[in-house]
Amino acid sequence: MSARESVWNTAPTSAPAQRGDRYAVGSADHPAKMLPAIATHAIRTYTQPGDLVLDPMCGIGTTLVEAVHLGRHAIGTEYEPKWATIARANLDLATRQGATGRATVTCADARHLLTHIPPERHGTAALVITSPPYGPSVHGQVRSTRETGERGVVKKHYRYSRDPHNLAHVSTDQLLDAFTQILIQCSTMLRPGGTVVVTTRPWRTRGELIDLPSAVLAAGRAAGLTPSERCVALLAGIRNSRLIARPSFFQMKNVRDARRQGIPLHLVQHEDVLIFTRHTKDHPDHPATSRPPRCTSRTQRPPRSTGARRADDRRRR
């Protein structure tokens, strides 16, 4: 894998501001939505208008919505009927707003992806974008209980579902085994030279750090994909050469609790973006070690601010 990294300036505005009026009512209830700017950056970098984009765990359809607005076509599968319905509503809204791409959503288990997509579509996707479900500590929304005369906050919208078969509820080992199988099927969906973009981040459970990015990297290799780039998608804005954090209530609480215990925990201000390529004998593209990363070749890096350097330093540690 190339030692070069790139920073994606994907949070110049907050997530609600990025979604604006482009997403239907109920979209905000999903506990782990991808930032639209992350999907947009990946689609613009790794595809051309008319290309096919696949998201095997599409949630409310962020990847699909941004793809059709950019003139690409998209396929999504989603395990939970509630989110699949909202994803379709979001695509209907995109069409009414003038999106030129076409997309479909199937309510299905991504572990059986190929059985739900017509064989003639296999081997045609230019790009797969996805993110595995991970720890609930950064998910959900809060509501103050002051108006009821009580103290504290109420947590809501922090569960994908209560279905025990949902990958969000299985052990880490089971999640990684299943994610490897999903990536194997995604590889079959890719055209030669196609790209897989996986966004993820580490999380803590009972104080133990779960290094999900490294595990996803291993899963991609096990699926026969070639790691080509490792980038950083900012979850913080940049203002006057400083990072402006936009943490959730739960991130702030976890960091404060850890520091009171003497643990030097920091706010997570980025997603790891792991990029893989499907290489074949008929399409032997050289790995990214022999060429500049594509995620920097078409976009300009944000200024190397002190805050950004500090974020990178914390990431390398």
Write out pLDDT tens, residues 42-57: 999 999 999 999 999 9
The Cα–Cα gap between 18 and 13 comes to: 6
Q: Is the pLDDT of residue 307 over 60?
A: no
pLDDT above 50 for 213: yes
296, exposed or middle or buried, with CB in 10 Å at 0-12, 13-18, 19+?
A: middle
Residues sharing a CB contact under 8 Å with residue 41, sequence separation 6 or more, in sequence order: 8, 10, 233, 295, 299
3-state secondary structure of 37: helix
Q: What is the pLDDT of residues 3-37, one digit of tens each?
A: 445 899 999 999 999 999 999 999 988 888 899 99
Predicted pLDDT at 149: 54
**Other residues' Cβ atoms within 10 Å of the Cβ of residue 45:** 22
Please tell me the predicted confidence (pLDDT) of residue 297: 44
Average pLDDT over residues 236-252: 81
Average pLDDT over residues 141-147: 49
- pLDDT band at residue 103 under the 50/70/90 scheme: very high
User: Residue 142 has what pLDDT?
Assistant: 46
| 301 has a pLDDT exceeding 60 | no
Nearest of 154, 184, 181 to residue 167 by alpha carbon: 181
By C-alpha distance, which of 239, 240, 248 is closest to 16?
A: 248
Between 131 and 168, the higher pLDDT residue: 131
Q: Which amino acid, one-letter code, is at 29? A: D
| Structure confidence by residue, pLDDT tens digits, 255-266 | 788 788 887 777
Which pLDDT belongs to residue 162? 67
Separation of first and last alpha carbons in the chain = 18
Pairing of strands 208-210, 153-156: unpaired
Is residue 220 within 8 Å of residue 144, measured between CB atoms?
Answer: no
Cα–Cα distance for residue pair 194/287, rounded to 1 Å: 12
As a CATH number, domain 5-316 is 3.40.50.150
Nearest 5°: CA angle at 171, between 53 and 317?
75
257: which residues sit within 8 A by CB, 6+ positions away? Answer: none
Indicate if the pLDDT at residue 140 is higher than 80.
Answer: no
Q: Determine phi and psi for 106, rounding to 5 degrees.
A: -115, 130
Q: What is the pLDDT of residue 35?
A: 94
